[in-house]
Amino acid sequence: MTYTIKAFEPKSINLAPQTIEEEVLQNVAMIISTPQFSVPLDRGFGLAQQFLDKPYSVAQTILVSEVLDAIEKYEPRVEVKNVSFTQSEEETLAGKLIPQVEVNIIDR
């Protein structure tokens, strides 16, 4: 089954997820919403932010690569199917790139 996760959602963290799916999807959301160096005991967690101040098309390519690398490293229980960018016109005009990731949970 394919799940879609958008960065910066959910707004709250569930410390006791009821299912493996809920846990994995929350982990992916946290990975793609967190800049590297912002987690005190794991400075490498999250996205490297190398896309900042780059032209839009270049930034998209870099961000896709960062998303794929971070998810592969920190949540091996998923297979990424697609990384896209869906934002409102207002967010686009403000220069915001908000990744949306489609994943399958791998049965192990």
What is the tens place of the pLDDT at every residue in 29-52?
A: 999 999 999 999 999 999 999 999
Q: How confident is the model at residue 108 (pLDDT cuts 50, 70, 90)?
A: low
**For residues 90 and 71, which has the higher predicted lDDT (pLDDT)?**
71
What sections of 1-108 are H helices per DSSP? 20-33, 56-74, 89-93
Q: How many CB atoms lie within 10 A of CB 61?
A: 12
- Collapsed DSSP state (helix, strand, coil) of residue 105: strand
Average pLDDT over residues 20-34: 94
The DSSP call for residue 43 is T
The CATH number for 12's domain is: 3.10.450.40
Pull the structure tokens for residue 41. 């005991």
* Cis previous bond, 10, omega within 30: yes
What is the number of domains present in the chain?
1
This prediction's pTM: 0.89
pLDDT of residue 42: 94
Tokens 């192990």 found at: 108
For residue 2, what is the enclosing H or E element?
A: strand 2-6
**For residues 48 and 87, which has the higher predicted lDDT (pLDDT)?**
48
pLDDT of residue 93: 82
Q: Which domain holds residue 76?
A: 2-105
Pull the structure tokens for residue 7. 């960065």
